[in-house]
Amino acid sequence: MQNRMDCLFCNVVQGKQSAHVIYEDKTHLAIMDKYPIQYGHALVMPKEHHERIIDMPIEDVSALFSRVPLVARSILAATGADGFNIGQNNGRAANQIIPHVHVHIIPRYIDTGNPWTKRMIATDKFYKIRLIPLSMIPYRILSSRCVF
């Protein structure tokens, strides 16, 4: 398993840093967020270090997200939340604070509202995004089992 000594979440995985663990299996860990957005905010992460989700093999991304419903159900049952958001940030510009892939499960409650950042109205500029042909994406990112 590849881990980095300077990564906070790798240190949690290795038991060198304390955390409130709510789920653990051979390859994944879920902990309560130390600085929660809402009561019950949890993080699900792979034990192996990856900085961004696009650095992970597709099978590993699938494995990570397969744990989210299990943890979310437990959080909803424990907190009595009315719903939840799932978030996954990649890079500093996206507000990724710890550079180790993790998925946020944020319980939501009808009586506290659901604040989001401001939105904008899309202009023609937003619809002129050109996608990169799949042939230009490094092979290590594509799974031989993926169909596009």
- Between CA 78 and CA 115 the distance in angstroms is 22
Instruction: Give the confidence band of 44 by pLDDT, cuts at 50, 70, 90.
Output: very high
Domains of the chain: 8-141 (3.30.428.10)
Residues annotated catalytic, as ranges:
102
Q: What is the mean pLDDT of residues 53-79?
A: 95
Look at residue 73 and tell me whether its pLDDT is greater than 90: yes
pTM: 0.78
Beta strands (DSSP E) in 61-117 are: 83-87, 103-108
